[in-house]
Amino acid sequence: MSTDPYGLGRVVEEPGVLPQRAARLDPSQPMRPDEMLIDVESLNVDAASFKQIRESCGGDPAAVVGRIQEIVGSRGKMQNPVTGSGGMLLGRVREIGSEHPARGKVKAGDRIATLVSLTLTPLVIDEVRGVRMEVDRVDVRGRAILFASGIWARVPDDLPETLVLAALDVCGAPALVARHARPGMSIAVLGAGKSGALCLAQARRSTGGKGQLLALDVSEKALSALAELGASDVSLRVDATRAVDVLEAVRKATGGALCDLVINCASVPGTEMATILSTRDGGTAIFFSMATSFTAAALGAEGVGKDLTMLIGNGYVPGHAELTLDLLRSDTRLREFFAARYL
């Protein structure tokens, strides 16, 4: 059997397209030589996707579970048809194909977290064991297939697995911040959730305390938590869907200079222009939110005559898992922040 590192052979509908774009995948066994079979324990659903499902189900946990089972059952993967996003999983290796690149690096029984999206991961849910609405997590009994191109991380023994799952779900965000944040920068983060906290922690590390860090969120409680964490210098309670209000708040906080780097971690749509207007001419905006409309961002920047670099956070930066876990290990307050929410 020829190798198929991208899983094209698992595409059922629209043959020839990559698994993420496919309407349906085949998650059935037997496993192929260049695949890894995983016994799934938990799904960490993307924040934008879980929010949409929760709201469409009126906040009813049973309905949320039913909707997730419906999606996975019909598509062979967890890809919200409204948001297009998925999440990632935690599980144990059951079997490693003879041609899979992880062979010799991980063994059956090892607990791992996949670092590729559930939108391209063949998945079967046999049973839902529980749902944690507050952290976008579903505990399940099931199985998934990781292609040869799929990245993963072994769950370390020195950190609680639930904390690791929450952090690795968004580990691409702080890793990309590390590439772009420099001492002396004014940096704003939209969204005070877990990805926002990690981005601010990395920004603090990268700037060495020489610069200004702004946290923006509609929730006073979330902002207070970040302030107690020491993650931000300035907290701005704003609605990121109201771009002009955000611009005025950021302009006032920065003395009119605006920000060199703005990272969008918001889980709601309509925040593109708040990000763009908060960025100075010549600055950089990074969009990590899966609720982002990149058409709105591109046309919006053009419409206001803003000269900036806009980056799509694709979730993968070499070494991103190690960087994120090191942030948790080295920053006691950050670790406690995550523990309070995800244990």
pLDDT over 70 at 1, yes or no: no
Q: How confident is the model at residue 267 (pLDDT cuts 50, 70, 90)?
A: confident
Where are the alpha helices (H) located in the chain, listed in sequence order? Answer: 47-56, 61-75, 161-168, 172-180, 194-207, 220-229, 243-253, 272-278, 294-303, 320-330, 332-342
- In Å, what is the CA distance from 319 to each residue of 115, 151, 153, 179, 322? 11, 11, 10, 12, 5
What is the residue extent of each domain of the chain? 8-155, 172-342
The answer on pLDDT for 215 being more than 50 is: yes
Mean pLDDT of 33-57: 95
CB 308 within 8 A of CB 281: yes
pLDDT tens figures, 73-125: 999 999 999 999 999 999 999 999 999 999 999 999 999 999 999 999 999 99
Two domains, one topology: 8-155 and 172-342: yes
What average pLDDT does the segment 47-51 reach?
91
Q: pTM for the complete prediction? A: 0.85
Q: Per residue in 283-328, pLDDT tens? A: 999 999 888 998 999 999 999 999 999 999 888 899 999 999 999 9
Q: For domain 172-342, give the CATH number.
A: 3.90.180.10
| Average of per-residue pLDDT values in the chain | 94
What pLDDT score does 2 carry?
60
* pLDDT (0 to 100) of residue 291: 85
Mean pLDDT of 146-162: 92
Q: Which residues of 92-103 are buried (b: 16+ CB within 10 A; e: fewer)?
A: ebeebbebbebe
Instruction: Calculate what percentage of the chain has a pLDDT beyond 70.
Output: 99
Q: At what angle do helices 320-330 and 194-207 cross, to 10 degrees?
A: 80
Burial 58-90 (b: 16+ CB within 10 A, else e): eeeeeebbebbbebbeebbbbbbeebebbbbbb
> Rounded to an integer, what distance in angstroms lies between the CA atom of residue 146 and that of residue 233?
41
Which of 139, 195, 149, 206 lies closest to 172, judged by CA?
Answer: 195
**Domain 8-155 belongs to what architecture?**
Alpha-Beta Complex (3.90)
Q: What tokens appear for 217 in the block?
A: 């969120």
The per-residue pLDDT for 48 is 86
